């Protein structure tokens, strides 16, 4: 039965059972994990890739989707993991490469395997990720009641290679736990376009508190078709920060599902794009429970011929009561050729809502403001950097840790330089 038959309708992304089995064996995976990969492969076979007719995919042409040869040997590339603070590891925190976690904590990993469900728009790519994830995958588990005070860091780098980048990050915060994870991803530019499918699953138990920061600095040859899924238990709080500066094409699906009362969800994004980058985010905020809140804030600074598309849905479930939700998407256009297309959709399926709304804008720099700043001696470039830095401040302010903030600012240096970085030392 192992054959080379292409299972997907788009000929660009063939994937067969042999390839998946070989990957599982190479990584020394136990049977239950290989079975999970093969279940994903079946889902992939049954899920057509987007045709471009779907609302979420209309503005993201897939015709040029890069070839993805999953049978090519995985590139040897380093992932750097920051150390887990001693106290935290004594308390049973697991933070390691997926492959190590499977070997050392098989039951824990097995109990928290993603079940493959999630937003429909990314179903095919999620299934593809589930069958092919490899280098760069991470497992983080924080036991009940454990607070990891210092942020955890991981930097994943890919060398130039023909093989697609497919990895998953699974974060499990048990009830009453607290953790901050900073994940930086980057790649070396290769000769031909290549596909990346980063998968993220974050689940928060009752009262858990998680901050997740993703800094995406892929090279321009990369198409980033990632998905992220946040599941929030009662009284939990998630703060998510997506810093998107890399990749030539991005189509990221961000999904948040509230599963209990009093959950707080904050989804933030900073996009700084130029050249011919096309950054397309589609979000789904599922709002449920009593008095839960879900707020999204994405800010984009677009240079040169960059385009940002944002298609976001808020769905307030009929079973919810007194919830608050908002979707805010602001775009600053720094060139006449840059463009933004924010599209908000609200589905409110109950009358019992405390608040629900959206705000979207796209605009060029204000000439009067630019003149004022330049009249203080700043040349146009520095004035622009300062304005973008100020524009981003609302999201940067929400990043809880000074050093994490510094990392985010470092990733933005190509766009905003080092303008206004020293304010904490001045005031």
Angle made by CA atoms 218, 112, 156, in degrees to the nearest 5 = 20
Q: Which stretch binds other proteins (CB under 8 A): 76-84, 206-214, 308-316, 418-426?
A: 418-426
d(CA 104, CA 100): 6
Q: Shortest CA distance to 196 belongs to which of 150, 250, 155, 238?
A: 250
> CB of 397: closest distance to other proteins in angstroms?
8
d(CA 268, CA 271): 10
116 or 390: CB nearest other proteins: 390
Q: Does 410 bind other proteins (CB under 8 A)?
A: no
How big is the chain, counted in residues? 427
d(CA 16, CA 21): 9
> CB of 372: closest distance to other proteins in angstroms?
4
29 or 384: CB nearest other proteins: 384
299 or 356: CB nearest other proteins: 299
Q: Does 336 bind other proteins (CB under 8 A)?
A: no
355 or 418: CB nearest other proteins: 418
Residue with tokens 């095919």: 124
Q: Shortest CA distance to 263 belongs to which of 285, 241, 233?
A: 233
The single residue among 79, 120, 394, 413 that binds other proteins, judged by CB under 8 A, is 394
219 or 382: CB nearest other proteins: 382
> CB of 360: closest distance to other proteins in angstroms?
17
Q: Does 88 bind other proteins (CB under 8 A)?
A: no
Q: Does 178 bind other proteins (CB under 8 A)?
A: no
115 or 366: CB nearest other proteins: 366
Strand runs labelled E in 205-306: 209-217, 222-224, 227-232, 237-244, 249-258, 264-273, 278-287, 293-302
Bridge partners (DSSP) of residue 198 are: 167
CB burial of residue 339 (10 Å; 0-12, 13-18, 19+): middle
> CB of 206: closest distance to other proteins in angstroms?
35
Q: Does 182 bind other proteins (CB under 8 A)?
A: no
d(CA 387, CA 162): 39
Q: Does 423 bind other proteins (CB under 8 A)?
A: yes
71 or 382: CB nearest other proteins: 382
CB burial of residue 220 (10 Å; 0-12, 13-18, 19+): middle
The single residue among 26, 117, 361, 393 that binds other proteins, judged by CB under 8 A, is 393
Q: Does 391 bind other proteins (CB under 8 A)?
A: yes
> CB of 301: closest distance to other proteins in angstroms?
12
Q: Does 416 bind other proteins (CB under 8 A)?
A: no
Site map 348..387 versus other proteins, x via CB under 8 A: ------------------xxxx-xxxxxxxxxx-xx--xx
65 or 419: CB nearest other proteins: 419
Residues binding other proteins: what is the number (CB under 8 A)? Answer: 32
Bridge partners (DSSP) of residue 425 are: none
Backbone φ and ψ for 60, nearest 5 degrees, come out as -130, 85
Q: Which stretch binds other proteins (CB under 8 A): 26-34, 84-92, 311-319, 417-425?
A: 417-425
Question: Hey, what are 425's tokens?
Answer: 């030392």
- Using DSSP's 3-state secondary structure scheme, residue 90 falls into helix
Angle made by CA atoms 80, 83, 87, in degrees to the nearest 5 = 165
Q: Does 390 bind other proteins (CB under 8 A)?
A: yes
Dihedral sign, CA of 39, 40, 44, 50? positive
| Residue 276: CA count within 13 A, CB half-sphere | 3
Site map 197..226 versus other proteins, x via CB under 8 A: ------------------------------
Dihedral sign, CA of 209, 142, 316, 255? positive
356 or 383: CB nearest other proteins: 383
> CB of 415: closest distance to other proteins in angstroms?
15
Q: Does 426 bind other proteins (CB under 8 A)?
A: yes
DSSP-assigned states of every residue in 129-154: HHHH--TT-EEEEE-TT-B--SPEEE
What are the residues binding other proteins (CB under 8 A)?
366-369, 371-380, 382-383, 386-387, 389-394, 419-423, 425-427
């Amino acid at each position: 039965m192992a054959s080379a038959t292409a299972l997907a309708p788009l000929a660009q992304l063939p994937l067969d059972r042999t390839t998946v089995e070989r990957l599982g064996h190479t990584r020394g995976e136990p049977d239950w994990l290989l079975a999970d990969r093969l279940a994903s492969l079946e889902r992939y076979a049954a899920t057509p890739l987007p045709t471009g007719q779907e609302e979420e995919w209309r503005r993201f042409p897939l015709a040029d989707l890069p070839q993805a040869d999953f049978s090519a040997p995985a590139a040897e590339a380093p992932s750097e993991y920051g150390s887990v603070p001693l106290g935290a590891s004594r308390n049973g925190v697991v933070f390691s490469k997926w492959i190590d976690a499977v070997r050392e904590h098989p039951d824990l990993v097995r109990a928290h395997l993603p079940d493959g469900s999630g937003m429909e728009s990314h179903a095919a790519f999620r299934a593809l990720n589930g069958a092919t994830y490899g280098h760069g995958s991470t497992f983080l588990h924080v036991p009940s009641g454990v607070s990891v005070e210092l942020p955890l860091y991981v930097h994943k780098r890919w060398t130039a290679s023909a093989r697609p980048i497919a990895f998953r990050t699974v974060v499990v915060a048990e009830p009453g736990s607290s953790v901050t994870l900073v994940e930086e991803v980057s790649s070396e530019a290769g000769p031909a376009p290549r596909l990346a499918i980063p998968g993220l699953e974050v689940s928060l138990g009752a009262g858990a508190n998680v901050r997740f920061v993703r800094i995406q600095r892929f090279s321009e040859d990369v198409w980033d078709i990632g998905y992220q899924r946040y599941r929030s238990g009662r009284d939990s709080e998630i703060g998510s920060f997506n810093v998107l500066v890399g990749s030539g094409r991005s189509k990221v699906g961000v999904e948040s599902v509230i599963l209990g009362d009093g959950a707080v969800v904050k989804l933030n994004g900073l996009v700084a794009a130029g050249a011919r980058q096309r950054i397309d985010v589609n979000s789904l905020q599922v709002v449920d429970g009593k008095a839960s809140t879900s707020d999204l804030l994405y800010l984009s600074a677009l240079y040169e011929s960059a385009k940002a598309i944002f298609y976001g849905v808020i769905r307030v479930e009929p079973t919810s009561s007194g919830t608050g939700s908002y979707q805010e998407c602001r775009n600053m256009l720094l060139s006449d050729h840059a463009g933004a297309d924010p599209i908000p959709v609200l589905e409110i399926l109950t009358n019992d809502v405390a608040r629900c709304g959206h705000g979207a804008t796209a605009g060029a720099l204000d000439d009067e403001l630019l003149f004022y700043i330049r009249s203080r001696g700043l040349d146009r470039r520095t004035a622009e950097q300062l304005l973008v830095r100020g524009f981003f401040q609302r999201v940067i302010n929400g990043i809880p840790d000074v050093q994490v903030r510094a990392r985010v600012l470092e990733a933005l240096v190509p766009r905003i330089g080092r303008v206004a970085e020293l304010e904490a030392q001045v005031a």
